Chain A
Amino acid sequence: MAYSDKVLDHYNNPRNVGSLDKGSRHVGTGIVGAPECGDVMKLQVRVNESTGIIEEAKFKTFGCGSAIASSSLATEWLKGRTVDEALRIKNTDIVTELSLPPVKIHCSVLAEDAIKAAINDYKAKQAGGAAVTPAVAETVAG
């Protein structure tokens, strides 16, 4: 299968790889997917509490090149957005930007799910005060 230049670029030079402190109340963590399905994405955001703006986004992905590219792109798009703006990122935006073929659309869906899971985790932490749950439990159905 031929990969688009943008997928290759994200694969070769993934942006924002890494991890944030999942215990911090400013950090939202989303982990979606399953090892037996062949892809797991971990996406984290660090939000400025007073402005609601995402100041940092990090990812780690187990998956094919398109899954890596989708999550790498997602972290680029998240930085500088408010949490509510982040929730408006759609998987179809990722498909268009990366020119993903039909068989790779699920990679973009997973990235959208990861964004939602991370934002929801952040929101739950804010609402629940100090209630910090292990990141791995903070997942949504994909």
Chain B
Amino acid sequence: MPMPIYMDNHATTPVDPRVLDAMLPYFKDQFGNASSRNHAFGWQAEEAVEKARKQVASLIGANSKEIVITSGATESNNLALKGVAEMYAERGNHIITAATEHKCVLDTAKRLEKQGFRITFLPVMQDGLVDLDMLREAITDKTILVSIMYANNEIGVVQPVAEIGKICKERGVLFHSDAAQAAGKVPVNVIADNIDLLSMSAHKMYGPKGIGALYVRRKGPRVQLTAQMDGGGHERGMRSGTLNVPGIVGLGSACEIAQKEMPEESKRSAYLRDKLKDRLLAELDEVFINGTMERRLPNNLNISFAYVEGESLLMGINDVAVSSGSACTSATLEPSYVLKALGAGDDIAHSSIRFGIGRFNTEADVDYVAAKVIQVVKKLRELSPLYEMVKEGIDLSKVQWTAH
């Protein structure tokens, strides 16, 4: 078993060797600019890009003409929100999103707010899902866009996207979804889900970093965007810049493999995930799963080990790469805002670990990780004054703590 074990596949994934093989020729021999119209180098590059565009479109049930290549989901989300806001500003100034969105949606929305747009940040329910009635009530005649992610990057919950799409269609509001985590993991279909804009990223599905796409619907309705990058008018004028041909080939290849292997791979990763979950729940008390298990990515487990602080747990399982919602592990020194949004309290966020099972994880990995986590949690609970107090029957919520 190669060590350390990588089980942080929501952060990023390794490039699949098949993807790399597809990309390699486009670095050296077939290096042409896809916009060069008058020689074979350009034609080859363009052909490769158009093939990749079809592969991307196929994964999400779109037409290849609707795929705008970007540098990744962060750019796609920025382009979707800012591009729609600018293009449709005369129609309305209201955008709806949710509290548990990725920072690149939340911070883009906050920037638009500063520029005069009105933003509604919908809270989520305790299970992590958006309340559809609340969404219905939030839509006004000034609403131009609803942006709700497909699946959450921390807790893996899959939003009721088809229902949201239906509501938006009925009310004549554009619907954008950040599918960075969902695409390639669960079936996504922009027609069935009534999605008008959809963000994707290659490196979350075994493709290279620095490449992604934004699906922009062409009919029913035809969505228009104000470009945020000016230049040569690439990508139907929505995103200028010479195309990253090897990256695009990698994105396309990653999409094709994900689509082909999804039925089998989602079963396999759900089996591994459930095995991990069941063992942790069987052998440890006071363990809480964050977010609903009913609607969830098959490879996600986000779990809080009460009375154990996340960073100290990561330190104990240092041959396993996972993430924590603990403040100590974040750049901002704030505990996870996603877990806080579930209303479970900061202490649950501090104690949380996110496991992301990947294509290259084995059952042996899961067995090792489960045993290691159980061992370290037990050790840290021996060290935990909170665990001791709870075992003595003290109600921690009644204790007068000294916040610092």
Contact = CB atoms under 8 A, between A and B. Distances in A.
Contacts of A42: 385, 388
A-side interface size class: 35 or more
B335 interface: yes
25 contacts: A3-B315, A11-B312, A11-B315, A11-B316, A17-B383, A19-B388, A32-B404, A34-B404, A35-B396, A36-B401, A37-B346, A38-B328, A41-B385, A60-B383, A60-B384, A62-B307, A62-B387, A63-B312, A64-B315, A64-B326, A64-B328, A67-B312, A103-B333, A109-B404, A113-B404
The winner among B307, B333, B403 for most chain A CB atoms within 10 A is B403
A39 B351 CA distance: 11
B402 A33 contact: yes
Given A11-B315, A32-B402, A38-B347, 13 more contacts: A17-B383, A19-B388, A33-B402, A34-B401, A34-B402, A36-B347, A36-B350, A61-B384, A61-B385, A64-B309, A65-B311, A136-B389, A136-B394
Contacts of B328: 38, 64
Contacts of A142: 402-404
Interface in A101-139: 103, 106, 109-110, 113, 136-137, 139
B404 A37 contact: yes
B389 A33 contact: no
B186 to A, nearest CB: 33
Contacts of A62: 307-309, 383-387
B311 A64 contact: yes
Interface string A10-26: 01001001010000000
Interface of A: 3, 11, 14, 17, 19, 31-42, 60-65, 67-68, 103, 106, 109-110, 113, 136-137, 139-142
B175 to A, nearest CB: 36
B401 A40 contact: yes
Interface in B277-321: 307-309, 311-312, 315-316
B350 A61 contact: no
Contacts of B311: 64-65
A64 B347 contact: no
A14 B383 contact: yes
B309 A63 contact: yes
A64 B388 CA distance: 17
A106 B402 CA distance: 14
B-side interface size class: 20 to 34
Closest 7 CB pairs of A and B: A142-B404, A34-B401, A36-B346, A42-B385, A35-B347, A60-B385, A64-B311
Interface in B371-391: 382-389
B345 interface: yes
A9 B154 CA distance: 31
A4 B346 CA distance: 28
A136 B399 contact: yes
Given A38-B328, A60-B383, A62-B386, A68 B312 contact: yes
A3 B308 CA distance: 19
Contacts of A19: 388
Given A62-B384, A68-B383, A136-B394, A37 B308 contact: no
B379 to A, nearest CB: 9
Contacts of A65: 311-312, 315
Contacts of B386: 35, 40, 62
Contacts of A34: 401-404
B400 interface: yes
Contacts of A60: 383-385, 388
A19 B403 CA distance: 23
Contacts of A67: 309, 312
The winner among A14, A32, A38, A65 for most chain B CB atoms within 10 A is A38
Interface string B222-249: 0000000000000000000000000000
B345 A36 contact: yes
Contacts of A109: 404
Nearest to A14: B383
A57 B402 CA distance: 22
B327 interface: yes
Contact of A137 (B307, B400, B404): B400
Contacts of B316: 11
Contact of B383 (A3, A35, A61): A61
Contact of A38 (B327, B385, B396, B402): B327
B346 A140 contact: no
Contacts of A36: 345-347, 350, 401, 403
Contacts of B307: 62
A34 B384 CA distance: 13
B51 to A, nearest CB: 43
The winner among B328, B382, B400 for most chain A CB atoms within 10 A is B328
The winner among A31, A62, A103 for most chain B CB atoms within 10 A is A62
